[in-house]
Each structure stands twice: as structure tokens, then as C-alpha cells.
Amino acid sequence: MKMSRRQKKENIFSYIFIGPQLIGFLCFVAFPLFFSIYLCFSYWNFIDLPVYVGGENFAAVFRDPIFWKSMGNTLIYICIVVPLTLLTSLILALLTNRKLPFMKFYRAAFFLPMVTSTVAISMVWLFIYQPYGGVLNTILEGIGISNPPHWLQDEFWARFAVSIVMIWLKIGYYYIIFDAGLKNIPTELYEAAEIDGANAFTKIKNITLPMLSSVMFFVSVMLFIDVFNMFNEVYIMTAGGPNYSTYTLSMYIYFYAFTEFDMGRAAVASWVLFALVGVVTLIQFKVKKRLVYE
């Protein structure tokens, strides 16, 4: 069917409007994506032309003990950060889901870490964790603990110290999400439960948690992605130490890309990170069918 002159003119204007978005997608999404796949099989140092090396980058990454240590650290962070952040933000939302004085101030205070520079926050926590004269160890010594941990200098405690900072940073954001979810639950459900003699625990178990299941699913997905992308806090506070005990996949990628200038190994590690996020997200969507109340 032959288009009229007006239709041709409309098509031209349509292409003009979508042109910038299409160019941006091709330049900043499609091209880097396919180029990173090519780099997985090449050696490139940012200066010379890429050289094809086959599967050497994959062999180098998967034989690297530091890579597997960063994977183990990521698993530890997931086990600590995800459940504690979800639980703490949910409890805060439940405690403040009522008419209380200064409620707007509390919400703003909880959310404040999210709008504060991560670098500034990490520096503050760095002073808190100082082994001698730090705020935390001073408090611990004041309550009778004579030999408090050297938080960021100890391989065992460093992971927990970084996890606490990560939890503190993320609680406010997910608290706001849970608070919004609680406000969408019909009050009639609670009124009917009270008439039937339900106590607070029963209402939370049988009404609040099922009605918040979709919100909890969203929060868990986002928390997994947050943990996989952990970088700023760890880099500033420990630089991955001591002895790579706080090293993350993101730091591993950064190290080989911008310190060693080995973009091939960095590309392989990036695709491993992408695959992990994809697999975890797929598993969560499979679990969603059973646990999420629609």
C-alpha cells in the first residue's frame, strides 16, 4: 500500500524524535555489550589494538584464587546483608506505621544515608572503626570489653564491619518502600481481624506479610543486585583487604580494567557477574510463583 505524502512526513518526524534515543542505545548499550563479548577472547590494554587470545582470559580468571575468594566474599555478603536489611527495614516500617509525633522527621532521618555521599559516609565509618580511639571500640571498652576487635584490620571481622555499613546505607531506602506498601493494605482487613479477636502478631502473620509479599520480593531482588555491585564502601574502607577478605567481584573487575589494564580478564569477570545476577533473578522469579500473594 502506497503511503500518502502526509504519512511519509509523519514517519520522518517519528524517526527524528526517536533518533537520539536510538543513537544513545547503539553507542552506550549495544556497542559496549557486543564489544565486551569480543574482549572476552582478546587481550587489550586501552592503547594497542585488541589481540585475539582465544580462551586464555577464561582460563586465567577461573584459575585465579583471588577471583574465587571474591566470589566467596560475595556469598557471605549476601547471607548477611540481604536478610538483615530486609528484616530491619520491615520492622522499622511496622513500628512507624501509625500516627506518631515527628513522623516526617523520622522518615527523613532514615532516608538520609541514601542521599548522602557514599565516600563521606565511608570515611565517617572508617573513623568509627578505628582500633585505637575509634567511637565503637571506645564504647566497647567502656562496657568492660578490654580487647575489642580491630574491625577493618582483622580478616574475620572486616566482612561484618563492611556489611554493617552496607545495611545502614540501604535500610532507609527499603524502609520507605515497605512504608508505602503498608499504606496500601486495606484497613478493613485489620478491623475484621480485630473483631475476630486476632492479636498483633496474628495480624502481622496472616495479613501484613501476605499483603507485603510482592514488596518483599521486589526488595529481595534489589538487595541481591546491590550486594553484587558492592564497590564504593569496600574500596574506601578496606581496599579489599586485609588479605582480600573483603574483596568483591566489582573490585576484581575494576582492578584488572583500570589498574592492570587487562580488559579481557575484566570483561570475563563482568560477564560472570552478569550471569550470577541473571541466575539469581530467574530463581527468585521461580520462587515468586509459590511465595508471592497476588
**Per residue of the chain (294 residues), what is the pLDDT tens digit?**
566 777 777 778 888 888 888 899 999 889 989 999 999 999 998 888 899 999 999 999 999 999 999 999 999 999 999 999 999 999 999 888 877 777 788 888 888 888 888 888 888 999 999 888 888 999 998 888 888 888 998 888 999 999 999 999 999 899 999 988 988 888 888 888 888 888 888 888 888 888 888 889 899 989 999 999 899 889 999 988 888 999 999 999 999 999 999 999 999 999 999 999 889 888 888 877 776 665
Q: Three cell numbers at 273?
A: 557477574
Structural domains of the chain, ranges and CATH numbers in brackets: 60-291 (1.10.3720.10)
Q: Three cell numbers at 219?
A: 526488595
> CB within 8 A of 171, min separation 6: which ones?
85, 88, 89, 92, 110, 113
Total residues belonging to the chain: 294
The pTM for the full model equals: 0.86
In Å, what is the CA distance from 288 to each residue of 34, 151, 214, 221?
A: 32, 37, 8, 11
Q: Three cell numbers at 75?
A: 556469598
> CB within 8 A of 79, min separation 6: which ones?
none
Do the Cβ atoms of 100 and 179 come closer than 8 Å? no
Q: Three-state DSSP class for 39?
A: helix
